[in-house]
Amino acid sequence: MYRPYPNALTLSRKVLRALIVLTPIAGVLILALFVASLVAEGPVMGALGVRPGPDRAALILGMRVIMVVGICSAALAQIALRRLLAIVETVSVGDPFVSENAERLQTIAWVVLGLELLHFLVGQVAARVSSQAHPLDIHWSFSVTRWLAVLLLFVLARVFDQGARMREDLHGTI
Amino acid sequence: MPIIVKLDDILDARRMTLTELSERVDITLANLSILKTGKARAIRFSTLDAICEALRCQPGDLLEFDHSKSRQSRKAS
């Protein structure tokens, strides 16, 4: 018989709580970098390794787009993390098969899809602005696994929805 | 729900209380109360079996379909 690790839930809760604190900090830091790049473009871009050249303007624009994407991603990640923590809390209470969790999973699925699309956008921007003189290496790669995870989340949301309905029916069965 | 549970009428006719029925059929008073007030979503055959045996009645004596409350009549009105 399958026996889950007893501490997995506690560990997940701790990790999620830490990430819920860390993602807004990351978002604020990226926002600060973005504002700084507008206020003091020369020194900031110099510190980021952007050298003078013909493609400089395009590279700076691309980097700013990536920063905006980073801020949006932090906000999206916050939504997903909070929903996931709420799901974990229902598991610890002992009642995870509720329609609210199906909705939360559905939201997480949409958020992860959004994050994947933003990731794709970052890859496109980096490819567009990167040149031999100004290479923008952000280690971008396409991953089938991540897209499968999106699909899996949507399927799981439906499974949860169906499970919650069945449980509700069973609850009213005499 | 157009299904009406007539448990109250049969209990009256048999001069039996819900508590007595609960003891005879081994179903909690809370669950029987849910059934009596028409709040149940479904009823198991085993429950129906036990109640019919205890009250010496037929399933049809316990349940009634109200056509005026059915989905089709609601659509028509």
Q: How many CB pairs under 8 A join A and B?
A: 24
* Whether A169 and B42 lie within 8 Å, measured CB to CB: yes
Q: Is B15 left (phi over 0), alpha (psi -120 to 50) or beta?
A: left
- Distance (Å, rounded) from C-alpha B36 to C-alpha B18? 9
Sequence-distant (6+) residues with CB within 8 A of A87 are A96, A101, A104, A105
In the predicted structure, residue A116 carries a pLDDT above the cut 80: yes
* Assembly ipTM: 0.70
Backbone phi and psi for residue B58, each to the nearest 5 degrees, phi listed first: -105, 155
Asked if A172 has any chain B CB less than 8 Å from its own CB, the reply is: yes
In the predicted structure, residue B41 carries a pLDDT above the cut 80: yes
Burial of A81-112, coded b for 16+ CB within 10 Å and e otherwise, reads bbbbbebbeebeeeebbbeebbebbbbbbbbb
The pLDDT value given to residue A3: 61
Q: Across chain A, what does the average pLDDT equal?
A: 90
Percent of chain A with pLDDT over 70: 97
**This prediction's pTM:** 0.73
Nearest CB neighbour to B43, from listed A168, A171, A174: A174
Q: Within 10 A of A39 (CB to CB), how many other CB atoms are there? A: 9
Average pLDDT, stretch B27-56? 91
Q: How confident is the model at residue B75 (pLDDT cuts 50, 70, 90)?
A: low
pLDDT in tens, A33-62: 999 999 998 888 888 888 887 788 888 999
Quote the tokens at residue A5: 């690790």
pLDDT in tens, A3-39: 666 578 889 999 999 999 999 999 999 999 999 999 9
Average pLDDT, stretch A165-172? 82
How close does chain B come to A168, measured CA to CA in Å? 9
- Please list the residues that pair with A173 across neighbouring strands: B42
Quote the tokens at residue A30: 């990226």
**Which residue from A minimizes the CA distance to B27?**
A174
Which of B41, B47, B49 to substitute to test the interface with A, most A CBs within 10 Å? B41
* Whether B43 and A173 lie within 8 Å, measured CB to CB: yes
Cβ–Cβ < 8 Å for B11, B55: yes
Percent of chain A with pLDDT over 90: 60
Q: How confident is the model at residue B44 (pLDDT cuts 50, 70, 90)?
A: very high
In the predicted structure, residue A1 carries a pLDDT above the cut 60: no
Q: Within 10 A of A8 (CB to CB), how many other CB atoms are there? A: 11
